[in-house]
Homo-oligomer: A and B are copies of this chain.
Amino acid sequence: MTDSSTPASKKLSFKQQQHQFREDAILDAVNRLLAQKGYDLMTMDEVAAEVGIAKASLYKHFESKEAVAAASMTRFIEEALSMTRDLPDHMKPIDKIKSVVRWAVRVHLSGTMPSLPSTRSSIQQTLLAHEPYVEKLEQLTLLLGEWIGQAQDSGELSPALPGEVILYTIYARSCDPVADFLKNGGAFSDDDIVELLVHTCFEGMVRTPALPGRI
C-alpha cells in the first residue's frame, strides 16, 4: 500500500507517480485536519472531501483511520528528524536545541502541527505500536538527549534538571497552547510569538539580571 520501493529502476512509472502524488495529497489533508481538530474530531468524510476523492477511494490507499493518521504523524516526525540532522555542526548544542523548538513553534503557528503530546487522544497507543513512528521518534530523542547532556556539561542548561524533564519540556513546548492564545489575540506577529515562547521556555519568566530592555 505504502510500498514505494522499485528495486531496479530510479524512475517511477507514470501510474506510480500518480499514486504517490495522490497519497501525498491525502497525507497533506490529514496533517492539516489533525492540526486543526485533532484525531478524534477528524472524520474520514472530511479527509476525502478535502482531497477531492470519495471516501471509498481513501480506503484503497490506507486501511483505516488509525493507519492514515499514523502515516501522517510518521511523515511529520521524519521531517523533524531530517531538519534536526541538517543543523550545522558548528552550532553550540544549546543553539541547536533552541533551533528545534523555534522550528516546531513555527510549524505549529502555520497550522500544520499534528497534536502530538495529547495523552487524551485515542490514537496515542496506536502510534506507540507503529514501529516506523517509534523508530524515528527514538532517533530524534537520542539526538536531542545528546545535545541536552552536552549543554548541561558546558553549563548552558541547568545540570540540576533531570534530562527527561528538559526533553519532555522541549516536546511539549512545540505544541504549547500559549502560541494559539497569542495568535488568536492578534497583538503579536508569528515571529514575536516564536521568540516569546522560546524565551519563556528557556529563560523562564523571572527577571534575569542580564536582560536588556526588550525581553
Contacts and interface: CB of A to CB of B under 8 A. Distances in A.
Contact of A205 (B157, B184, B214): B157
A113 to B, nearest CB: 11
Contact of A165 (B120, B160, B178): B178
Interface string A15-46: 00000000000000000000011101100000
A169 B205 contact: yes
Contacts of A118: 177
A161 interface: yes
Best-surrounded residue of A117, A203, A207 (most CB of chain B within 10 A) = A207
Nearest to A177: B117
Nearest to A193: B165
Contacts of A166: 205
Given A160-B213, A196-B161, A215-B161, A38 B205 contact: no
A17 to B, nearest CB: 34
A124 to B, nearest CB: 11
Contacts of A117: 177, 181
A211 B160 contact: yes
Interface of A: 36-38, 40-41, 94, 115, 117-120, 122, 155-162, 164-166, 168-169, 172, 175-178, 180-182, 184-185, 187-188, 196, 199-209, 211, 213-215
5 contacts: A158-B206, A168-B178, A169-B205, A172-B176, A203-B206
